[in-house]
Structure 1
Amino acid sequence: MQLTDTAWAARPYGEVVDLAEQDGSVLVVPVGSLEQHGHHLPTATDTLLADAVAHEGATRTDAPVLVTPPVWTGLSPHHMPFGGTVSLEREDLATLLEGVADAALENDFDALLFLNGHGGNAALVESVRASVGADHPQAEVSSLTYFALAEGFADEIRDSGVGGAGHGGEFETSLMLHLHPDLVDMDRAAGTAMDEHYDLARQDLFVGGPLAVYREFTEYSESGAIGDPTLATAEKGTELFDRLSDELAGLYGAIHEHNRE
């Protein structure tokens, strides 16, 4: 959890209320996970990355934006066989996110964005976006999985082919080498290229089809990582983080402008 000027948790309550009451105010709720990411990355990888990009995007805009502490666990039943994973039931995660939103929006924010960092959360976060939006018609409620912002430029940075930027692969490992190099053990970096049976299913973080299939991760990888983390570098992570943050700052600004009275 980052305690910067963009953090709700770092401000006295009066400052939270004052910012929320600004015209076009935006609240961001990062949603991560606590799950295995192979032998070389920490279990909090998804939470750390969603939290970091949420805050950096907020520092790059003049819009009134606050970021809550991240929700550190999500839907990760497919990772449970490896151990080191905490996964909530769908109903419990939905109740948690709805409860956070219900209470936070009492402070009169004009917009709320759920910023997801774990692919397994995506469908539920979208469902919660709809339920919270219906319950709070006075606020605009949206959701986004942050790494989708890189789909337009990831190929300019990555060296791996399709299948190399999966769970714990080149993309996430590069970001972690930039943000938290002390938590990355490149001597243990190993992954398995995504080998999906169906052409219509997702092949990579940035190459996906319309078909979704549930499988435990042991069917994809012995190490728990998918992709090629050995191609990751801090330099790639720096560029990815910079461009992701710029994209998110632009979104914050657009949400702010759209919700000004």
Structure 2
Amino acid sequence: MLYDTIGQRESEWAGMTASEIGEVGGQDGSLLVIPVGSVEQHGNHLPVITDTLLVEAMVDAAIERLDDVPVVVTPPVWSGFSPHHLSFGGTLSLEFANLRATLEDIAHTGIQNGFDAVLFVNGHGGNGPLINAVVSTVGVDTDAEVLGTTYFQLASDRIEELRTTDTGGMAHGGEFETSLMLALRPDLVGDLADRDGEPMDEHYEWGGQDLLDGGNVAVYRSFDAYSESGAIGTPTAASAETGERIRSIIGEELAALLVAVHENNV
């Protein structure tokens, strides 16, 4: 279950009392972290909760590495902006304006507990432009510092060195996400035999090629224009060992970001 560890971490909003949250928020340089995922199809081998589960796990990996940083993590926002996945079924998507308003409301009400900064940590590519917008819409209305990042874009150079596939192999449901799932929740990973997704085939060379190569040109396409299975990349190249190394790298990088935000707001 997604929330089976509630109350086991001092930094987890859902397991804290209101007064405990206020105590952390009132500390100098306090930071509120809001993980944002999605519920969407990931081919025939990964569950629809993949993006939400992984972003929550990456935030946990960062929190484990912190010492004396006043931080609280909200429950993950589990529904993202995923209209491009709807043709495959299994996807629960919010409208752009609704998700934007939801994230704005969560941030504003969270900040009311005294936090000096708020960081949105995104786990779904389709949420990226929306979260960038929310950083501005929330930031202009509060004295708190507002930031946003997409976890799989952190330390992409270091992760690039781990890959066993060419560019395109770490696309949606490919080597990257499947490796993390094998490391974190192997019980949710289906049989990988003959489950390779199609290689990424974006017409424009400036467009995104996989999770580590987002490209410089945005283009909208329904996902069934790329794939018959819903997955893109090479999940059969995934391994739990690669997943553990990716988790460690992202945990270190995200922890460094959290420390920097804290220090900038002291």
Output the TM-score relative to the length of structure 2: 0.95
Counterpart position of 1:23:
28
2:168 corresponds to which of 160, 163, 166: 163
Counterpart position of 2:221:
215
1:36 corresponds to 2:41: yes
Report the CA distance shift for 1:24/1:121 in structure 2 as closer, same or farther (over 3 A): same
Q: Percent identity?
A: 52
Q: How far is 1:190 from its partner?
A: 2.5
1:67 corresponds to 2:61: no
CA distance in 1, matches of 2:217, 2:192: 35
CA distance in 2, matches of 1:208, 1:67: 27
In the TM superposition, 1:1-261 aligns within 5 A as: 1=3, 2-3=5-6, 4-62=9-67, 63-136=69-142, 138-187=143-192, 189-260=195-266
Tell me if the contact between 2:33 and 2:74 (Cα under 8 Å) persists in the aligned partners.
yes
CA distance in 1, matches of 2:27, 2:140: 23
Which of 182-191 and 142-151 deviates more?
Answer: 182-191
| Higher percent of residues as helix | 1
Post-superposition Cα deviations, 1:31-69, rounded to whole Å, max 9, x if no partner, equal 000000000001010000111111221121121111000
Output the TM-score relative to the length of structure 1: 0.97
Post-superposition Cα deviations, 1:74-109, rounded to whole Å, max 9, x if no partner, equal 110000000000111111001100110111010010
CA distance in 1, matches of 2:117, 2:100: 19
SS at match of 2:241: helix
Q: Which amino acid aligns with 1:105?
A: I
Which of 180-189 and 41-50 deviates more?
Answer: 180-189
Post-superposition Cα deviations, 1:139-165, rounded to whole Å, max 9, x if no partner, equal 100000010013121222110001100
Q: How far is 1:211 from its partner?
A: 0.8
Q: How far is 1:206 from its partner?
A: 1.2
Please list every run of 5 or more consecutive structure 1 residues that lacks an aligned counterpart in the other structure. Answer: none
Q: Which amino acid aligns with 2:35?
A: P
Q: Which amino acid aligns with 1:66?
A: V
CA distance in 1, matches of 2:214, 2:105: 32
CA distance in 1, matches of 2:17, 2:191: 40
Q: How far is 1:5 from its partner?
A: 2.3
CA distance in 1, matches of 2:86, 2:204: 24
SS at match of 2:227: coil
Please list every run of 5 or more consecutive structure 2 residues that lacks an aligned counterpart in the other structure. Answer: none
Tell me if the contact between 1:202 and 1:211 (Cα under 8 Å) persists in the aligned partners.
yes
Tell me if the contact between 2:192 and 2:236 (Cα under 8 Å) persists in the aligned partners.
no
Aligned pair count reads 259
SS at match of 2:40: coil
